[in-house]
Structure 1
Amino acid sequence: MEVLETCGKGTLSAGEPSTKRSLTSIYDDDEVVGFEKHAEIIMKKLIRGTKERDLISIFGMPGLGKTTLATKVYNNPSIVNYFDVKSLCAVSQAYNRRTLLVEIFKQATNDKIKIKEDDDVADMLRRVLIGKRYLIVLDDIWDVEAWDDLGICFPQGEYGSRVMVTTRIEQVAKHLLHHSDPYSLSFLTSEESWELLEKKVFRGESCPPDLLEAGLQVAQHCKGLPLVVVLIAGMIAKMDKEASLWLKVASDLSSIGLGEQSMKVIQSSYDHLEDHLKPCLLYMALFPEDHKIPVNDLLKLWMAEEFVLNVETENMEEASRNCLSDLLNRSLVMVSGMRINCDVQYCSLHDVVREFCLRKLTEDKYMQLPMPYNPYQHLYSTESRLCIYIHDDLVKQLDHPDYKLDKILMLDFKETNSLEFIAHPKLNTWNNQYWNPLDLLVKLRFVRALHLMDVELPDSWATAIQSLTELRYLALYVRQFELEWISHLHNLQTLQVKSSNKSIRAATLWEMKKLRHVNIDSFPVVWEDINDEGSFEESSTTMLENMKTFHICDIRLDNVNARLWWRFPNLEELSLKVEDEPKFPLFPIPEVHTHLQSVSLMFSFNKVFNSVGWERYFVFPSNIRHLFLFSCFFTEDMVLNIARLKKLESLTLLMGFPDVRLQTFRSCCWDVTNVEFAALKYLGLFFMQMKEWKASEESFPVLEKLVINGVFIKEIPPSFADIPTLTRIELTNCIDSLGVSAMNIKREIEENTGCDSLHVVVVK
């Protein structure tokens, strides 16, 4: 259940800067208690032994940590560097063969080769893997047929390739036997259970003596299941530190049989949740099994469903982050993907937790799963709270000529006002080969959240959405879009639009007073509500005080747009893709945006050589904590503008030049010797056109993590050995001497402090 940081290639998201409050500090445990010996055995099976393709299977009951072990091994630097191609995917009980092969293919090719709808993905995958030493991890296989279905896509050969599978079924593991015997994952010992419990409850501190005996009893009665240990740890960490309370927990655990223990412990953890957290957790179970849920979307969906209104804060975004943080702390939710700066990007539910939540949803009549069509089935009215999860099977059923919408159990449209929320997790659900989703939308007049980004909707979408006046969350992929078509949605909080048309006229934006998050992609915006002097009328009607994040593509940095930000006085995140050369300051009066904490700016790469002098336009608001810059010159003045941000915690620079002398850029030196980034904890340099880097020990006084990808400098400045807070260096696609310099810094720190505090990861 521990979460490991991925050593493979990270995901760089320019359009989504990290959130204001970090969700990463609660998951800072790099080692997995009790798994060290298992990991060592599995890694030997992967690296040693036969040169023929081999299959290594790990089996054991739910909650033993099979996925955690497989992930730990998969991300180990020695494994990362040994295999030419790697892929890790969850198979699960119900899976789509093509979808799974597409995911494996994307990972195997680093998503460099695009897949068409009629492509033979299995054949493409075989061609990619032939002649390479590959590692494929298939997590959570339920039957032999799944392997028979997928295994034929992984070519034989004497290159030392491996396929690793995890399964909860021993007979499946034995049937998959190739050269290596199946590996049975054992329970934690009492000592390991206590070590994990203490680590989770006290976050690196030692247990007080008066709680030691009670804590040992709690650990013993967890019966060696890591899932149970971390769930119990999450629960008692919220209790008063009293031995009597802990002994009561131990007594309750002792009466539970091993087979039912996980469910009982989850029930106990659920019962201890504050009321506002329960629907947040249950809602997550409606996403598909093993689905990596995007955190940004999840928090906005919670807000749309009004799960967080009763939390004691006026800031719904902060309330949502607090909810997720609480669920992570209790280990009911797992981190399944991190951003390059260590913010949580994806989260998921353990399959046992998800199974519990689905049972709870059904018991409490939050949800009724649609049944296959039966013309004789009885229809009955809805209960007071109903959620329908629209998925592929339902879409196929609705496409049946005899299956009508009113055949869905518990959905009586005479009482549609009882439909409080409807979940649309993984939203590649609807595609044109089955059915037009708009036929269903017109029936769901009280729906609050629609996420339809995975398929381009027909042009009739605007008419179908006219009646959905309760929408709080709307994400669309359409050919044509105008804000006036949805300006009547006065409750809308989140708007995400991807469109292929040429421009959007945004005059009606100001009518949508409750808008908090706007992400407009793939087309430019034209502002029409300006006067003859080229500025907005000064009135309250052009103020959106609730606007928190504004992400937009194809925008001009002219006087009109510079004044636009004034209409968002409480803006916290701003992300822009700029196609032209700036002619006006981005923030004419930086002091206006005291709430702005995250800025992401992407400039057209073909305009970068005309960008000399841009730096005078980039005086940033002083409270910015996260800054992402793509494609510009980082001249001395620009660097000083950035260094003036005394609260800046993360800085990501991509495809930039540190020198304006174009004829010598191949020998560019980024010299920050006399510059101090006072609060910077994360620095990412990606494909920067620089050959040398100079810095002093005062340049990055509190830096914790350095990430370099595709930058061909020879060494990291030696002064990095004098940064006491530095804990991690990640190098990808860099020359060998850079890795040598990182290891030299690591050795110097060990010699000076006696501590092995710096972790270096090198990925080719």
Structure 2
Amino acid sequence: MDIVETCGKGTLSSGEPSTKRSITSIYDDDEVVGFEKDAEIIMKKLIQGTKERDVISIYGRAGLGKTTLASKVYNNPSIVNYFDLKAWFAVSQAYNRKMLLVEIFKQVTNDRIKIKEDIIYLIVLDDIWDVEAWEDLELCFPRGENHSEPYSLKFLTVEQSWELLQKKVFRGENCPSDDLLKAGLQVAQHCKGLPLVFILVAGFIAKMEKEASLWLKVASDLSSYVLGEQSLKPCLLYMGLFPEDHKIPMYDLLKLWMAKEFVLNAETENMEEASRNCLSDLLNRSLIMVAGMRVNRDIVYCSLHDVVRELFLRKLIKDNYIQLAVPYNPYAFNTWHNQYSNALEFIAHPKFNTWHNQYSNALDLVVRLRFVRALYLMDMELSISWAIVMQSLTQLRYLALSVKHFKFMKWISHLHNLQTLQLKSHETLHLRADTLLVMTKLRHVNIDSFSVVWEDINDEGCFEECSTTMLENMKSFRTCDMQLDTMNARFWWRFPNPEELGLHVKVVPEFPLFPIPEVHTRLHSLSLDFSLIQFFDSVGWERYFIFLSNLKHLDLSCYLLTEEMVLNIARLKKLESLKLFMGFSFGSNCWDVTNVEFRALKYLVLHFVRMEEWKASEESFPVLEVLFIEAGFKFKEIPPSFADMPTQRLIELSNCIHSLVVSATNIEREIEEDTGCDSLQVVIKKVNKCIY
């Protein structure tokens, strides 16, 4: 389970280990230049205002930083700890009233039947374009007489503009020359006090030589520079096709870029690394924004500012960029298709879930899309007749599909160019390994609700020991239903280079999870979902879960945390993040790691962990930075030794009992008293005073 922090709009065949670089934003500023007083005023209104419903609106021109200011207030610890529940929603110019209200209700009720009246809510409606939209939505909220004076966000002064520009370009250092100072002030004036424009300009000039003439040239023709670099241009234009305010999942975006071959000219043969480098470059230039990240700061979602997106859309129209994304006008499609014949290479972005409402027989369309490369149909359950059509789409590189009545998945093997395969079904379907083994270009597979059978079986039902097919390009494989039987050991060597692996372990295996450890030296991320009840009656099952030494990220769900299992984890000298979900501490219900050292662990996430006591020494987590606990109902306190761990920067608790909250705040206070600084931040999202 991933913990994602919302950021503004919306709610990570060489024998060497992977050197995968985490994609994080280079802009983690604690303050926003020019907004300090604005944030202070708004927070005072929120905390010291009425307990009844109140409306605080921020208005101003696009690019002034309204969303940035609201986000800084929304994520401020004082606000986080004051409100019992917070929720953020992007309304956008074209919004669906029903869908928006349903989503608001789901978040503020946590999917319960009714809204609690004894807690304090903070609900942010971002990106409202006109008064009529608010009047439409206001009727659905509790009645109230309070409506604070709208807060007008002002343009930055020249001095504030230069301060922002200098901060982004020189990273806090002073401007090195008078010529650059004069040029910088001219840039500040040229950008008309809009923070968004300054950030975009700064993203480019920070990469340039420190020459005044270059700075002024960027400021005077920003749009040309934004889309001028050919290696970034197709990636940016492609993102402009996503809906307004859409939180674009990183998992999908990078693989869609790969399917479209946007990064082939990069200085690396590894497509994943090239895509990540491209994304990092776009982030560093502030052309795209972070919309959600994990506790370890890996980015999960990104998005485009409305102003930037409009710039890209204008360029798409001007250049007659031949792409088709659904939903679309089915009548206009016929004219378009006749004009461009079979030039179409792309259809569908994730979450375009209104296609079936606009075009009742999508099958007729796909028949004509012989050159389609990326197809996302995860939000539609398709009939069995689709199998015949799908196998004809031989140019597919990316396929995300929700299936219902497919008895056999043999047709997938016809897609020889496929790189990414995502499958979902609510029924138990079977996918044989030999179906995938002929797809040698596969790089990423994510299978949900399938039963994956890993036997090489020929038509006569015999095991083919002579088969030598290997999927050397496979980088990630995830399935929620995989049978680990006695024959699996023969097949693991067929996947020599995986970097990420996710498995649902249904029964106790009869052999080690990694029987040939020297083969999988690139694996750095492992997620295991256990069928807990199967392991209660088993003795010595831990010996089959000796993990590979190069692991950096480990997620365990529905597990038994025995002493031997803890030691197996602690042996991982490179392990940086550990997530434990719905686990039991076997025997005494005490997780005692007093004499255990997790020497590289920086991020520890505990969800619904059913232990009653937790013991640790100051040597247990020597480099821990972040501790996240959700629904801690059983154990009553964080070990006091956490006050002696100097690397900690964040303890975040969500829906935990009061005593656990008290222990966290005591640790925070003790560190501040001992060191004289507030290096540890404690964030409390919700307190549950009942022990479940």
Q: 2:398 aligns with which of 444, 453, 473?
A: 473
Q: CA separation in 1, counterparts of 2:545 and 2:203? A: 45
Aligned to 1:669: 590
Mapped contact 1:416–1:444 kept (Cα < 8 A): no
Question: Which secondary structure state, in structure 2, belongs to the residue aligned with residue 54 of structure 1?
Answer: coil
Partner of 2:256: 301
The Cα shift of 1:460 comes to: 1.2
Change (3 A) 1:307 1:749: same
1:503 Cα deviation from its structure 2 partner = 2.6
Q: For each residue in 1:78-124, what CA deviation from the matched residue of structure 2 results, as whole angstroms up to 9, or x when unmatched?
A: 333444443221111111112211221222123x35xxxxxxxxxx8
After superposition, the C-alpha distances for 1:670-712 in whole angstroms (9 at most, x for unaligned) are 1212222122111111111122222222222222211111224
Partner of 2:441: 514
What SS does the aligned partner of 2:518 have?
helix
Q: Is the 8 A contact 1:201 1:237 kept in 2?
A: yes
TM-superposed CA distance for 1:504, in Å, is 1.4
Is 1:678 matched with 2:599? yes
Q: CA shift at 1:132, angstroms?
A: 5.5
Equivalent position SS for 1:86: strand
In structure 2, the partner of 1:419 is 344
How far off its partner does 1:748 sit? 3.5
Query: In the TM superposition, what whole-angstrom CA distance separates every residue of 1:42-76 from its partner, at most 9, and x where no partner exists?
Result: 12222334444222211111111111122222233
2:494 corresponds to which residue?
A: 567
Contact 2:376 2:399 in 1 (8 A): yes
For the Cα contact (< 8 Å) 1:405–1:440, is it kept in 2? no
Q: Give the secondary-structure state (helix, strand or coil) at the position aligned to 2:356.
A: coil
Quote the residue 2:504 is aligned against.
Answer: 577
The one-letter code matched in structure 2 to 1:466 is Q
In structure 2, what is the equivalent of residue 489 of structure 1?
Answer: 415
Code of the residue aligned with 1:151 in structure 2: it is E
Report SS of the residue matched to 1:455.
Answer: strand
**Which residue of 299, 320, 325 corresponds with 1:389?**
325
**Aligned CA distance change for structure 1 residues 11 and 363 (closer, same or farther; 3 Å):** closer
Residue 201 in 1 paired to residue 158 in 2? no
Q: Secondary structure at the match of 1:56?
A: coil
- The alignment partner of 1:683 has SS state of strand
Alignment length (residue pairs): 672
Compute the displacement of 1:239 (Å): 1.1
- The Cα of 1:208 is off from its aligned counterpart by 4.5
Q: Distance in 1 between matches of 2:11 and 2:482?
A: 24
Partner Cα distance (2:643, 2:122) in 1: 35
Other-structure match for 2:15: none
**Residue 456 (structure 1) aligns with:** 381
Could you say which residue in structure 1 is the equivalent of 2:656? 734
The residue number in structure 2 matching 1:231 is 200
Report the TM-score, using the length of structure 2 for normalisation.
0.90
CA distance in 2: counterparts of 1:655 and 1:59, whole angstroms: 44
Displacement of 1:535 = 7.0
Q: How does 1:325-404 map to 2 (within 5 A)?
A: 325-366=280-321, 386-391=322-327, 394=328, 397-398=329-330, 403=331
1:642 equivalent among 560, 569, 572: 569
Cα distance in structure 2, aligned partners of 1:198 and 1:656 = 49
Residue type of the alignment partner of 2:127: D
Query: Is 1:693 matched with 2:614?
Result: yes
Q: Which amino acid aligns with 1:38?
A: D
In the aligned structure 1, how far is the partner of 2:461 from the partner of 2:324?
51
Displacement after TM superposition at 1:752 (Å): 4.1
- Following the alignment from structure 2 to structure 1, what is the Cα–Cα distance between the partners of residues 77 and 535? 36
Name the residue aligned to 1:540.
468
Identity score, percent: 69
Task: Specify the SS of the correspondent of 1:587.
Answer: coil
Number of the residue aligned with 2:668: 746
Shift of 1:235: 0.7
Residue number in structure 2 paired with 1:761: 683
Distance 1:7 1:77, change over 3 A: farther
- One-letter amino acid of the structure 2 residue matched with residue 468 of structure 1: L
Q: Give me the whole-angstrom Cα distance separating, in 2, the residues matched to 1:516 and 1:731.
A: 37
Q: Distance in 2 between matches of 1:315 and 1:331?
A: 25
Task: Indicate the residue corresponding to 2:367 in structure 1.
Answer: 442
How far off is 1:340 after superposition?
Answer: 3.6
Q: Following the alignment from structure 1 to structure 2, what is the Cα–Cα distance between the partners of residues 183 and 28?
A: 26
> How far off is 1:486 after superposition?
1.9
Counterpart CA distance in 2 for 1:651 and 1:21 is 18
Q: Could you tell me whether the CA contact under 8 Å between 2:199 and 2:286 is conserved in 1?
A: yes
Contact 1:231 1:330 in 2 (8 A): yes
Aligned to 1:223, what secondary structure does the other structure show? coil
Cα pair 1:390 1:423 within 8 Å, conserved = yes
Distance (Å, rounded) in 2 between the aligned partners of 1:614 and 1:648:
22
* CA deviation string 1:510-538 (max 9, x = no partner): 11110001111112112341599997625
Native 8 Å contact 1:218 1:247 kept in 2: no
The superposition leaves residues 150-198 of structure 1 with CA deviations (integer Å, 9 ceiling, x where unpaired) of 211112158xxxxxxxxxxxxxxxxxxx631111001233443344333
* SS class of match (1:299): helix
The residue correspondences of 1:544-563 to structure 2 (distance < 5 A) are: 544-563=471-490
**2:574, 2:639 → 1: CA distance?**
23
CA root-mean-square deviation: 2.8
CA distance in 2 between partners of 1:206 and 1:648 (Å): 39
Secondary structure of the 2:24 match is coil
1:424-458 CA-to-partner distances (Å, cap 9, x unmatched) read 24231323685132221111111100000011112
Match of 2:267 among 304, 312, 337: 312
Paired residues of 1:217 and 1:247 also in contact (CA < 8 A): no
Contact 2:607 2:629 in 1 (8 A): yes
Structure 1 pair 723–197 and aligned structure 2 pair: CA distance change class (3 A): farther
1:137 to 2:124 alignment: yes
Give the C-alpha shift of residue 6 in structure 1: 4.4
Q: 3-state SS of the aligned residue for 1:486?
A: helix
Checking the alignment, whether the CA contact within 8 Å between 2:591 and 2:613 is kept in structure 1 is yes
Instruction: Give the distance between the partners of 2:616 and 2:604, measured in 1 at CA.
Output: 13
1:718–1:205 Cα change, 3 Å: farther
> Hey, what's the Cα distance between the residues in 1 that align with 2:675 and 2:428?
59
8 A Cα contact 1:236 1:246, kept in partner: no
Rounded to whole Å, the distance in 2 between the matches of 1:559 and 1:55 is: 63
2:541 is matched with which residue?
614
Counterpart of 2:491 in 1: which secondary structure?
A: helix
* 2:637 equivalent in structure 1: 715
* Deviations 1:125-147, CA, capped at 9 Å, x for gaps: xx537675433221111222212
Q: Tell me, which stretches of 5 or more residues in structure 2 are unaligned?
A: 13-17, 687-692
Change (3 A) 1:5 1:475: closer
| Residues 206 and 710 of structure 1, relative CA distance in 2, 3 Å threshold | farther
AA at the equivalent of 2:168? K
- Please, which moves more after superposition, 186-195 or 85-94? 186-195
Cα 1:203–1:751, aligned 2, differ >3 Å: closer, same or farther? Answer: farther
Q: Could you tell me which of 229, 245, 255 is aligned with 1:290?
A: 245
The question of 1:268 aligning with 2:190 is answered no
Tell me, yes or no, if the aligned pair for 2:109 and 2:116 is still in contact at 8 Å: no
Q: 1:611 and 1:21 mapped to 2: Cα distance?
A: 39
Check conservation: 1:721, 1:746, Cα contact below 8 A: yes
> How does the TM-score come out when normalised to structure 1?
0.82
Cα displacement (A) at 1:224:
2.6
Q: Which amino acid aligns with 2:323?
A: C
CA distance in 2, matches of 1:536, 1:697: 54
Conserved in 2, the CA contact under 8 Å of 1:483 and 1:509?
no
Q: Is the 8 A contact 2:57 2:150 kept in 1?
A: yes
